[in-house]
Chain A
Amino acid sequence: MHDTTIRKKILVCCGTGCLANNSYSIYERFVEKLKDNPNITVETSIKATGCNGLCEKGPVVKIQPDDISYFKVSIEDVDEIIEKTIINGQIINRLLYLDTNQKKRIVNHMDASFYKHQHKIALRNIGEIDPLCIEDYIERDGYKALHKILFEMSPEEVIDEVEKSGLRGRGGAGFPTGVKWRTCASFNNFPKYVICNGDEGDPGAFMDRSIMEGDPNTIIEGMIICGYAIKSNKGFLYIRDEYELALKNMQAAIDNARSHGYLGKNILGSGFDFDLEIVRGGGAFVCGESSALMASIEGNVGEPRAKYIRSVEKGLWDQPTVLNNVETWANIPPIILNGANWFKEIGTDTNAGTKVFSLVGKVKNTGLVEIPMGTKLSELVFDIGGGIINNRPFKAVQTGGPSGGCIPKEHMDVPLDFDSLSKMGSMMGSGGVIVMDDTTCMVEIARYYMDFLSEESCGKCTTCREGIKLMLNILTNITEGKGELEDIDVLESLGNTIIKASLCALGKTAPNPVLTTIRYFRDEYIDHIVNKKCPAGVCKNLTTYFIDEETCIGCGICRKKCPVDAISGSLKEVHVIDEGICIKCGNCFTACPKDAVKIGGAAYAY
């Protein structure tokens, strides 16, 4: 019989990343194998959870209370895990996390460098609960904050608490949430609306998706609390259409919350009514902008409007509206429950709490990371991220999404908070962090983002639409070797006009990638324009590869890596690249163990 004194919980990550790697079959296999298994004497429960953040090492399976975490689990491993770990309490070394910083395998993933520095508030439940199971959420203090405000706090007290906590909006602009609520509450114009911004248009960012998938109830609870505070009875969740799992889990959670009395009429007998509805977003980047988002909910074209009258006064259908980001909402219940002072202790004076970053690019550990505001960028990249892949030289970090900026390695000590990042000419944005090594061309990066924005601007203002287009043309010219020095001045001068003259924050930030790369990597622009050389070997028109005779040891590695057989040479002899055949893929450059492959400028420049 089952020994009910010992309970083992098996948590199988079923976030989008792990699902793509078949984690649901793993979950089903566990369910099937554990059902009526006569060898198992302990009580087991299996949970399909939200994303653990380390997607590239998934599928992730955690076993509690032993605190054992297995990574890259496959369906074939299930029997072994049951046999060895569940029944016999043994650890399977092969499946443990390999920590490249500590150079060892780690039993409890919380001890891994990637997780050790993290402080989870917004992501507190993700990976720990089954998002479809409201009881799981309740077991971890869910809906306690709602009880507290409904029966112990006045709407003003709720606003005071949020304002005192110093919480600033996590959607990008960092506007103080309490102030937003207070202003909205001050208008005596009803109905009022509460909106959750789940558009997450920033490519590469997936924290909002993770929260919606992995802990939908925290968003619901946060929104009800706001509804109570500003006297609104209706909320909308604007979620992008591609987010299938998020849409499914959010809808299930809303239905479940309603049947448990947390949503609908007379919530928990308090007399307060509030309900939620999901609106699917079309997936345009600009629809994440508040006024475009509201236009889109109203069924109009997703174009921003001038915000001289703000949406807290005239928002959705011209009624007072509070719009907050998914991550902002996830912070509300813990703030109410633990108090403003608890929250203020975390982070820095003007940037309280934590921020979730999605760490991607040329860094060893990629994934979602929640850390206190003000953590240094270097700590994120090296301590948590484990440094650069293949230990190549670190060059820069791009933060803030498509209209963020690039921060060079000289400024790696910059604290990650709203104000410090803005001072660098970059921004927080939604928290995307893209790490770049020496094989990244900064001019090409700027060009890439202008290309993205030229399609994603709504196209309403001349400055944004035509300005980005002109910047894109100039940058394309430079990467093709047709640039002139005056182009740099034009880019800077035009960039400033676009920032000042555009209508919404998309246009007002769009030049950031260009202006920051000019500010920190001007030499690289000059190399492209004057020396007709792309030092990173990215712009094909401006790159040649050659092998330094002095350094080459004739190992032949580059010859084997070349996809077009452009390299010749016998073993232990100096190798040569045939310029006529070379397609400039750069394989030899990264493969050479002696760094003997060098990057030269355009062939015609010699």
Chain B
Amino acid sequence: MLIKIDGKTYKGHPGETLMEVARRNGINIPSLCYKKGFEGLGRCRLCLVEVSEGKRSKIVSACVYPIKEGIEVTTITDEIIKMRKDIILLLLLRAPDNEYIQQLVKEYEVKAPERYIQNDNDDCILCGLCVKACEKLGTKAISLVNRGITKKVSTPYDDPSKDCIGCGACAETCPTNAIKLEESNGIRTIWNRDFDLVKCSICGKYYTTLDALKFIEDKLASNEEHICDTCKKKSTASKFKESFQHIY
């Protein structure tokens, strides 16, 4: 299926979203709640673009818009820039001190009137990626609760969650680094709960929690060596090299 983005023609597959086609082709549509491999969430609203079908055109959010044959997409118009600025302003008022939001503020030259700034800062912009990441793992320890201005991400009743394995996937996907993950003396603290950390058998650094290891071992029904990602990469790389040395 062929579509046009900013005048150029691109190929897409039925069922793909506009964002997927754009990212694959290196076209930058800003977003905070989109992550490759995740379904689009349509939450942050930064990915608004204009789509024309014949004579009609409308504003859609690219991360949830399924492409259609023959559409023409414009990713930047005055109207879209104005909307993005307003959205960034709203994010800025929510998370005034957040460095990731500040980057957007600079890029789009947004200024918040002093009078509108309130003292209820929250780095979390409710993009929902952490909840999705946790859901994908199958842990479902956190969810979006409440509605309206009281909406937030939390464990059930804000209590330490039984289901959490302390793996930190949520913190890793967070686009604004809003999830608190602290480590000291072999203990990781996240979502109000302490987890014992495990050392890598090669480099000796703490790299994951005992609960996370157990969870994966149960799931895969395997008992692998405890090796951190960095060392794992290194060892595959050296194995790779070895096998090539035999060839040449």
A residues touching B (Cβ–Cβ < 8 Å)? 284, 286, 301-302, 305-306, 308-309, 453-463, 465-470, 473-474, 477, 484, 486, 490, 493-494, 497, 500-503
Contacts and interface: CB of A to CB of B under 8 A. Distances in A.
A462 B93 contact: no
A454 B44 CA distance: 17
B87 interface: yes
B25 interface: no
Contacts of A500: 48, 59, 79, 83
A503 B45 contact: yes
Interface stretch (B143-151, B159-167, B211-219, B225-233): B143-151
A308 B87 contact: no
B51 to A, nearest CB: 10
B125 interface: yes
A466 B65 contact: no
Contact of A493 (B86, B91, B94): B86
B168 interface: no
Interface of B: 42-46, 48, 59-61, 64-66, 79, 82-83, 86-87, 90-91, 93-94, 113, 115-116, 118, 125-126, 128, 143-144, 146-151
B87 A284 contact: no
The winner among A284, A305, A459, A462 for most chain B CB atoms within 10 A is A462
A414 to B, nearest CB: 28
A322 B219 CA distance: 41
A455 B149 contact: yes
A539 B55 CA distance: 48
Given A305-B42, A470-B93, A501 B149 contact: no
Given A308-B60, A473-B116, A484-B115, A501 B83 contact: yes
Contact of A455 (B59, B91, B128, B147): B147
B215 to A, nearest CB: 24
9 contacts: A455-B149, A455-B150, A459-B147, A459-B150, A460-B128, A461-B45, A463-B45, A463-B90, A473-B118
A462 B147 contact: no
B148 A457 contact: yes
A457 B150 CA distance: 10
A308 B65 contact: yes
Contacts, number: 105
A503 B151 contact: no
B45 A456 contact: no
B143 to A, nearest CB: 8
Contacts of A301: 143-144
A466 B147 contact: no
A562 B48 CA distance: 56
B147 A286 contact: yes
A101 B61 CA distance: 53
B45 to A, nearest CB: 5
B28 to A, nearest CB: 19
Given A306-B64, A473-B118, A503-B61, A458 B125 contact: no
A497 B86 contact: yes
B126 A465 contact: yes
Contacts of B116: 470, 473-474
A302 B61 CA distance: 20
Given A463-B90, A473-B116, A497 B147 contact: no
Given A453-B148, A458-B147, A501-B59, 10 more contacts: A457-B147, A459-B144, A459-B147, A460-B43, A463-B45, A465-B148, A465-B151, A473-B116, A502-B45, A503-B45
Contacts of A503: 42, 45, 61
Contacts of B86: 463, 467, 493-494, 497, 501
The 3 A-B pairs at the shortest CB distance, nearest first, are namely A459-B151, A466-B90, A497-B86
A68 B191 CA distance: 68
Given A306-B64, A501-B48, A284 B147 contact: yes
B66 A469 contact: no
Contacts of B151: 458-460, 465
A489 to B, nearest CB: 11
Contact of A306 (B42, B93, B126, B148): B42
B90 A467 contact: yes
Contacts of B82: 497
Contacts of A468: 148-149
A494 B90 CA distance: 10
Given A306-B64, A463-B86, A470-B116, A501 B45 contact: yes
A459 B126 contact: yes
Contacts of B150: 455, 459
Given A306-B61, A308-B60, A462 B125 contact: yes
A304 to B, nearest CB: 9
Contacts of B125: 462
Contact of B87 (A454, A486, A501): A501
The winner among B42, B46, B147, B150 for most chain A CB atoms within 10 A is B147
Nearest to B66: A308
A302 B93 CA distance: 26
Nearest to A454: B149
B59 A466 contact: no
A476 to B, nearest CB: 11
Contact of A465 (B48, B83, B149): B149
A107 B202 CA distance: 96
A460 B143 CA distance: 13
Given A454-B148, A469-B149, A462 B90 contact: yes
Nearest to B88: A462
A462 B45 contact: yes
A459 B146 contact: yes
A466 B126 CA distance: 11
B206 to A, nearest CB: 35
The winner among B59, B144, B149, B151 for most chain A CB atoms within 10 A is B149
Contacts of B42: 305-306, 460-461, 503
A306 B65 CA distance: 8
A199 to B, nearest CB: 14
A464 B103 CA distance: 23
Contacts of A477: 115
A301 B128 CA distance: 13
Nearest to B125: A462
B37 to A, nearest CB: 19
B93 A466 contact: yes
Nearest to A456: B148
A359 to B, nearest CB: 28
Contact of A497 (B46, B83, B115): B83
Contacts of B113: 486, 490
B64 A308 contact: yes
A465 B33 CA distance: 15
The winner among A455, A456, A466, A467 for most chain B CB atoms within 10 A is A466
A459 B90 contact: no
Contacts of B128: 460
Nearest to A458: B147
Contact of B94 (A457, A466, A502): A466
B45 A470 contact: no
A465 B125 CA distance: 11
Contacts of B94: 466
Contacts of A469: 149
Contacts of B91: 462, 466
A160 to B, nearest CB: 27
Contacts of A497: 82-83, 86-87
Contacts of B83: 497, 500-501
Nearest to B41: A460
